[in-house]
Amino acid sequence: MFSRRAAAVLAVSAAIFGLVPAGTASAAQQCDFSFSTGKFGCNGSSSVRKSTDVIGARIYTGTDYTGDMLTIWVPQPCPKNDKVDHFMALNDSAWRNRVNSAQAFSTCWVWLYRNDGNRDGPFQGNHPDLTFAGYRTSQIGLS
């Protein structure tokens, strides 16, 4: 279980690190990542997710659900099993240290992790202003 989770974190990290420019000045990006496929992209969700995936969360670089948006797809609604089931390292992506709002879906709770391993959350439902925590977010967890 741990090695599968570590492989998923590495795959996500590599995908985001290689595909998403840090802090671009262009129009807001709408990107997707699927834990089912391990794919990341900004060309529509159908290019990365399985047809059975559900939205676990949406993360935004701006407050009030503005700026770059990352939709995180999960294979099924998050189980309530007292553990974080999905981890996503943000590396040098546009979302690192810029998670300023978030929406949780499909019974998932969003956790914002810092470099030191501490975290803020869980965030359930809609959170239009996470600037108190988002400026130091290096990893996202879904539970």
Strand partners, 31: 70
Residues 6+ away with beta carbon under 8 Å from 102:
57, 58, 59, 60, 110, 112, 123, 127, 130
- Backbone phi, then psi, for 72, in 5-degree steps? -105, 120
Tens-place pLDDT, residues 110-130: 999 999 989 999 999 999 999
pLDDT reported for residue 17: 42
Tens-place pLDDT, residues 38-80: 999 998 888 899 999 999 999 999 999 999 999 999 999 999 9
Tell me which DSSP letter residue 46 carries: G
How many angstroms separate the CA atoms of 52 and 25, rounded? 34
Residues 6+ away with beta carbon under 8 Å from 7:
none
pLDDT reported for residue 111: 97
